[in-house]
Amino acid sequence: MNHKTAVRAVLLLSLATPVAIRLARAEIIEQILVKVNGEIFTKTDLEQRQVLMLRQKGQQIDLKSDPYNVQLRKVLDDITPQIMVDAIDEMLMVQRGRELGYKLGDDQFKNVLDNIRKENKLETEEQLQAALKAENMTMTELRKNLEKSMIVQRVQQNEVMGKIGVTEDEAKKYYDTHLNEFTTQPTVTLREILVAVPADGRGLSVAADEAAKARAEAIRARAIGGEAFDKLAADVSDAPSKANAGLIGPLSLTDVSSDLRARIDKMKAGEISEAMRSNRGYQLLKLETKTPTQVMTLDQAREQIGERVFTNKRKVEFLKYLDKLRGQAIIEWKNPDVKKAFEQGLKQQAAPTL
């Protein structure tokens, strides 16, 4: 038994009940898990979705080290609730779409197929068929899946998203309660020159400290006298920023120490600070630019607000729409474990708040 066959066998066992599967030589009687408005969802349907989700999650199950399938069963317990909710909701939306007359026409299918070929660089019919075979899929199954996806998207757009708008009151309320999202903190861009203070084996030397300070003051005098600060930084600085001609930033002023911010607040663009003692030595700073706190107006933020409010409303309204479809549907459960998983999935699907 190869790996793929082993996984499928375990999946078959994972939800089987004593009367779930009856074997009659080469014939397998399919187990129906649930009927949704008369449409069936089978055990094979569930297994296919489980395998697909395991692949999407990159989940690796080592069957040799897990002979009793404990790890696999736990993974399936985790993913099956969401799978069942998604499956039932998809069935309901596809049924609704068909009521509205939605279908995938021949021309649409051809266009989608052409795009699939281009994206996957499938230049010939043989390459396309080989790709389908690798996924254990026929052209008919591909078209069926694409049609389902198209119908679901159209139902979402026409039945939910197309009916959602953002009122002026909603926009203003969001703006007032999320003002920080539209506020840009003040920033500063600096250049530095560092004159490091060397230490001997006994610690810092007073003479070395004074010499470093004198050197820093001399460099400042050269900069005040007209020499380019960036060139001086590149030539004489002991800081790593020397490689960038002393450039630091832009920095958010909220990330700057209170002492340094107090100094910067008193400086004007182009001004050079006095030599300041730091734990690295003596530092000279030149203020390149400083931007104040900026708050977007409601009109300036309107597009962003519209997108964010719409996204939140879409989630809420879409869940309400699905609840409505479920409430109107005739759902006949044939497997209590799968019903339990579905109900667990609904509990996990908490509606977002605006």
Domains in the chain, CATH or no CATH each: 3-164+313-348 (1.10.4030.10), 186-292 (3.10.50.40)
The radius of gyration of the chain from alpha carbons, rounded to an integer in Å, stands at 33
Q: Record the pTM.
A: 0.60
pLDDT digits (tens, 9 = 90+) for 122-172: 888 899 889 888 888 899 999 999 999 999 999 999 999 888 888 899 999
Name the more confident of 56 and 59: 56
The strand pairing partners of 23, in sequence order, are 28
> Where does the pLDDT of residue 280 fall: very low under 50, low under 70, confident under 90, or very high at 90 and above?
confident
> Where does the pLDDT of residue 336 fall: very low under 50, low under 70, confident under 90, or very high at 90 and above?
very high
Span 35-57, mean pLDDT?
92
Let me know: does 7 contact 51? Beta carbons within 8 Å: yes
Percent of the chain at pLDDT above 70? Answer: 86
Let me know: does 219 contact 234? Beta carbons within 8 Å: no
pLDDT at 68: 63
CA 187 – CA 252 distance, rounded (Å): 4
